Amino acid sequence: MKVENKLRDKIYKHILNKKGEEWKEDGIDFNKLVDSNVEKLNINENDKKLIKTKWVNILKRNAEKYGKVSEGNKIKIYNTGYACFKNILKSIDKCKKRVWFESYIFDDSDFAEQIINSLCNASKRGCDVILLVDYIGSLKLKNKWVNKLKENNVNVIFFNTFLNSFLNILPIFFRDHRKIIILDNSAYCGSMNVSENVIPNFSNIVRTDKDEILLNIEKECQNYHLLNEKESDNAEGYIFTNGILGKKNKCLEYYDLHIKLKGPAVKDLADVFIDSLKMANTDITRDPIENQKKYKKNDEDNSSCYVQVLESNVLRKIKSIQLSFEYIIKNGANNNIYITTSYFLPPGFLRRALFYALSNGVNISFLFSGNSDIFGDVPATYYVIKKFLKKFGNEKDKVIYDNTSNNNEKISDFENRIINNYHNNLHSKKNKLLKWKKINFKDFKKHVEHKFGDNLLLKNKHKGTSEFFFFEKKHCHAKNIVVDNLWCSIGSFNWDRFSSRRNLEVMVSIFDKNISDKFIKEHEEKKKNNSKQITLSNINNRNVLQIFFSYCAYHIGKLYGKNIFDGLSNNNKKTILRKAIINRYLADNCIDHISLNMMWGT
């Protein structure tokens, strides 16, 4: 088996070299990467050693299993649509090679028309321009705009039209939810669509200088706390850029997070865009782009970070986002997790991962939308929150295990639960279970750690706490997670069954202390301003109709998210059935074959 594994690795490396891709993992010093970030944490040296060992193993494992990795990337973070798309439109106007634009929503707003004009102008300059939008998400896209794009040699692709679904090429519920923009040597990714909700009160943000706009509206926005930071269009640092507050909006305004990437990860994001093209059932194909410049720590603004691009494509059985999230929450989280998402109906494996982290003493802060664009989303979220707060509210677990307890002392509920779980898995007989219950917990702990590793048992004396906040000023449409101030991820993935089981999704995960701190700061600011904390008493004090509506909304959403309604589980069922038939055949016939072989001496 070891020889086969080595041979398989050599073949895999040879294939990558033929494709012109370097074997990136060999070029990354994971020990140095983790050391440089963990040293910035304000913890004792013993904890640092444990955390370093843990994260080195996690990053190596994820690099092998879940997606392409790269060092030397520069990242800029945007928390307003105005600043982000101002930069995007300026970049499109400067493009010389390619403009690849992928979005779930593309509506009929003035803002969308500005994007259309920029794409047409880029095509006239000789750029390779592709607009890939989801058919259902972009129903508002005007036909005259599509015709204009095609007249200017822009490739317009609608993902999974009704005709494709009717012909059973793709299930109707299989949607392209990715938001990726590739502009020559830079890329954008996050939660922002081309929609009026992203930039209400749109004005010509490309032709007008931003500083002049800020000066004109400063009197109207004196109390807006984010205006004190201004963007430098040429800066590529880690600062947040902020736009204008504007006047009262007719539509529901979104709160989004987006990033701009420069470096080797641009090529990895472009590969995900090419994957979307392949899934769109179109004749338009593209080859991987050239390798991108790798930035060093001492270049320009002294910024460079490690990035892994994660994707989800259930039809190709790619679930890098889901598996990576589950593994890091269970094995990487030690102190805290910050989650910002728009729709929170997590599938079972992610919910169990969060429960596992909370049981290990990890504190989790959630930021959801209290002003959602989906009817029933907020009531359904109340129902999920109640499940968490019942188990892991603000009151910490008072059970503390004592390693010095004698055999005659009674073990705590916590110890009893661990022993029961352990022996229910290993021993089914009651007499063995009763025998193990009498063992001193210290001896039991040593036995389990010796057999399964030091980190199997809970190291924290208390359970973690979960805090929930509803952002009420806007619809919270951002998708972001931060683990232990070290690892973070941003992209299009929602914590619901649609993103997990159906949609094409993409996330950019980053292992960098500075970037993680920026996201945590943004999370905390949104919690303090225009957010409402949800407690168990708030949920229980609602009237009967509200409680009943929450129950119905949750179960309808859960039922609607099952694969039985979308046809995406057919391949899995066929595979399971095929394996079952083979196993049954072998079980029924193996004895006969063995007997015959023994008779004939073979």
- Report how far residue 330's alpha carbon sits from residue 230's, in angstroms, rounded to the nearest whole number: 38
Contacts of 142 (CB under 8 A, 6+ apart): 108
Query: In the predicted model, is pLDDT for residue 15 greater than 70?
Result: no
pLDDT tens digits along 21-46: 434 444 789 999 999 999 999 989 98
Predicted confidence band of residue 462 (pLDDT cuts 50, 70, 90): confident
Query: In the predicted model, is pLDDT for residue 227 greater than 50?
Result: no
Query: In the predicted model, is pLDDT for residue 2 greater than 60?
Result: no
Judge contact between 407 and 436, C-beta under 8 A.
no
**What 3-state class would DSSP assign to 593?**
helix
Query: In the predicted model, is pLDDT for residue 434 greater than 60?
Result: no
Contacts of 390 (CB under 8 A, 6+ apart): 536
For the segment 114-122, the average pLDDT, to the nearest whole number, is: 96
Q: What is the pLDDT of residue 579?
A: 56
pLDDT tens digits along 81-99: 999 999 999 999 999 999 9
Q: What is the pLDDT of residue 502?
A: 87
Closest C-alpha to 323, from 54, 97, 601, 65: 65
pTM, rounded to two decimals? 0.77
- Report how far residue 268's alpha carbon sits from residue 255's, in angstroms, rounded to the nearest whole number: 27
pLDDT tens digits along 510-545: 999 999 999 999 999 999 988 999 999 999 999 999
For residue 188, CA distances in Å to 66, 88, 195, 273, 550 come to 21, 8, 16, 12, 36
- Report how far residue 12's alpha carbon sits from residue 245's, in angstroms, rounded to the nearest whole number: 51
Query: In the predicted model, is pLDDT for residue 256 greater than 90?
Result: yes
Q: What is the pLDDT of residue 67?
A: 84
Closest C-alpha to 184, from 285, 100, 63: 100
Q: What is the pLDDT of residue 446?
A: 60
Q: What is the pLDDT of residue 366?
A: 97
Q: What is the pLDDT of residue 441?
A: 55
- Give me the CATH topology for the region 71-279: Endonuclease; Chain A (3.30.870)
For residue 415, CA distances in Å to 395, 402, 422 come to 19, 9, 11
Least confident range from 59-63, 313-317, 470-474, 582-586: namely 582-586
Provide long-range contacts, Cβ within 8 A and 24+ apart, for 599-602.
none
Predicted confidence band of residue 57 (pLDDT cuts 50, 70, 90): very high
Top pLDDT among 559 and 113 is at 113
Contacts of 313 (CB under 8 A, 6+ apart): 275, 279, 504
Predicted confidence band of residue 304 (pLDDT cuts 50, 70, 90): confident
Query: In the predicted model, is pLDDT for residue 349 greater than 90?
Result: yes
For the segment 60-77, the average pLDDT, to the nearest whole number, is: 94
- Report how far residue 401's alpha carbon sits from residue 398's, in angstroms, rounded to the nearest whole number: 10
For the segment 66-79, the average pLDDT, to the nearest whole number, is: 94
For residue 422, CA distances in Å to 135, 349, 391, 397 come to 50, 20, 21, 21
**Placement of tokens 């050599």 in the chain:** 10
Q: What is the pLDDT of residue 8?
A: 57
Q: What is the pLDDT of residue 297?
A: 75
For the chain, what percent of residues have pLDDT higher than 70?
A: 68
Query: In the predicted model, is pLDDT for residue 318 greater than 60?
Result: yes
CB atoms under 10 Å from CB of 314, counted, come to 22
Q: Where are the domains of the chain?
A: 71-279, 572-602
Query: In the predicted model, is pLDDT for residue 303 greater than 60?
Result: yes
Helix (H) or strand (E) holding 305: strand 305-313
Predicted confidence band of residue 11 (pLDDT cuts 50, 70, 90): low
For the segment 360-364, the average pLDDT, to the nearest whole number, is: 94
Query: In the predicted model, is pLDDT for residue 201 greater than 80?
Result: no
Query: In the predicted model, is pLDDT for residue 395 greater than 80?
Result: no
Q: What is the pLDDT of residue 494?
A: 95
For the segment 116-130, the average pLDDT, to the nearest whole number, is: 97
